[in-house]
Each structure stands twice: as C-alpha cells, then as structure tokens.
A and B are shown apart, each in its own frame.
Chain A
Amino acid sequence: MDTSKTTVVLLVEDDPADQKLAKNALVNHEMDYALYAAENGEEALEYLQRSKCGDTESPRPNLILLDLNMPRMGGKEFLRHIKADDDLCSIPVVVLTVSDAKTDIQESYKLRAAGYVQKSASPQEFQKVMDKLAKYWFETSSVVRS
C-alpha cells in the first residue's frame, strides 16, 4: 500500500452523534487518511460532482461509508445514482447502518455495496468494528487512486 498518499473517506450520515462516533473511531486509527462528511445522499452527490471537477476542497474519496436512513435522499437511492455513474461507480461503498433487516442487506448488496456493517451503540464496539474495516480497506485491499 502506498502510505505516502492520504486515503480519503466520505462519510454519508445524517445523525450528528453517529457522525461523531465514526469520526472518533477513524481518528484513533493510525493510517494516514482524511475524512469528509455529507449529511444525506443529495449532499454526498453534490460533493462527488465537485470532486469530479477537481475541486481541491472536495477530493475524490477512495471509500464511501453510507448510512441508509437519511432525509432528502436515502442510502439506497444514493447507491443507485453512484453505481449508474460511469466514473463514480469504481468507488467502493460500505453500508454502515443500524438496520439488520434482511431486505436492507439483500438490497444493499444488490445495489453493489462492498460491505454491510451494522452500527454498534457502544463506542468501544464501534471502535473495534471501524478498526477491522479500516484494516481491510486501508491496509489489505488496494483502492483506486487517481
């Protein structure tokens, strides 16, 4: 893995408490990464449009963490949009949600999610889960780097 390049993660999450949990969990990780956040699918799409235009304030993410239940545009709709985009479809999207409903899991994978992780209410548990997630995506797997 090329550690001289920062890994950019886009977190799409409307709940401020969950945003904070995710941010804290990633901050504790020793990898070199940068975290950007959007509060719903629409904002995330706008962010990605800006990144396509080379906006330095909106660098293209190497990984997207996606909540499902959000106002304005939910996770599944966002996933549908991004996977239909010939350029953006190469960004892996991991669903990060409270739901463990079989339909949500099935639909997310059908929409080409690259993982489905259930959020834990306990910060310690959440930390452990984010550690394993980060180890997989930042250390084990390569990702597309422009």
Chain B
Amino acid sequence: MEDLERSSNMDDLIPVVILLVEDDPADQKLIKKSMLDQKISNKLIIMNTGEDALEYLDRSKSAEPGYPVPDLILLDLDMPGMGGKEFLCRLKTDDALDTIPVVILTSSASEQDILETFKLQAAGYIKKPPTLDGFCEVFSRLEEYWFVICKRVPQRQLSCAAIR
C-alpha cells in the first residue's frame, strides 16, 4: 500500500481509502499498478473474498486502528464463496456501511448483471479493461468522479477526526 503525498490541503492529506474485493491475483496486480499512477493520495486495501471484506468492514465499523472505513469499494462479481452480488446485498442492509459507494469492476458484460447490480444499488459498473493503460484510464475517471467532483460521505471524515 503506497501513499503518494503530494498536496497541501486538509482533504488530500488524508489518503482516500479504497477497498478492492477481488480474488484474481493478476487483476489485483494491474489495479495496484494503476493506483500508484493516480494524482490523489490513496490507500488500497485488497480482500480476496466477500467474507474477508465483510470482516474487514466489521472492524472498520468499530473504528479499530489500522482498519479505516473505505471511501469507495470496488467489487468483483465472480468470486468463490460469497459472490459480489451477495456481498453488495449484505452491505446495503448494514446501517453503518450502506452509504459507502460500491462500483462493480468485472469481466462480465452481461446486461442481466448490470441490471441486478444497479438494483442492488451499485453506483457504477465497469468492465475490466484488457490493458494496464486501460486500467489507468478507468482509475483516473473513477478518482475524478468520486474524489474530485463528488462530495464524500461525511461519516468517514468524522471518524478520521476522532482517531486523530
């Protein structure tokens, strides 16, 4: 996890925390590389399964040090055990976690998957690009949308202040 500190205003000193729920090691690697390239200071947390991700999130809920609440969740659909849709469903029924935006990042181009995940309140659906350049472009757009033009959910900023 790399922190690329570059800016001077308060918001950027707190790296954005992105939780990646993804089991494929090659995709994990590609995503890690694209994150390093981004302008915004970020912290990438990788969980291999839905179950592990939920466990991480449970700890972050109780403000356990070292388990910051994510600002954004990137979610694969096709994973062993708990699939992405079930994870999303569980997340959206949890009062402490349901405001965290979830963006699907998958190799599936199925219209049915797009429909079902938007019904489950995903806040974006991105088909995994085939190249590193493609990933970098996607991440740049993701960051611009979620961390430059969109206002962030206040709860995390509040909990950050509490920890400091």
Contacts and interface: CB of A to CB of B under 8 A. Distances in A.
Interface string B16-30: 000000000000000
B6 interface: no
Interface string A120-139: 00000000010011011001
Interface residues of B, number: 30
A114 B124 contact: yes
Nearest to B121: A112
B150 A141 contact: no
Nearest to B155: A106
Contact of B141 (A83, A110, A135): A135
Contacts of B154: 102, 105-106
Contacts of B151: 100, 105, 116-118
B148 A140 contact: no
Contacts of A132: 141, 144-145, 148-149
Contacts of B150: 115-117
Interface stretch (B37-45, B51-59, B78-86, B112-120): B112-120
| Size bracket, chain A contacts | 20 to 34
Contacts of B14: none
A141 B103 contact: yes
B60 interface: no
Nearest to B99: A109
Given A106-B155, A145-B111, A133 B145 contact: yes
Contacts of A91: 118
Interface string B95-115: 000110101000000010011
A140 B124 contact: yes
A144 interface: yes
A89 interface: yes
A131 B141 CA distance: 11
A141 B125 contact: yes
A92 interface: yes
Contacts of B119: 86, 89-90
A140 B118 contact: no
A111 B114 CA distance: 20
B33 interface: no
B123 A92 contact: yes
Interface of A: 83, 86, 89-92, 100, 102, 105-106, 109-110, 112, 114-118, 129, 132-133, 135-136, 139-145
Given A110-B99, A143-B125, 14 more contacts: A83-B121, A89-B121, A90-B119, A106-B153, A112-B92, A114-B121, A114-B124, A115-B101, A115-B146, A116-B151, A129-B149, A136-B142, A136-B144, A144-B111
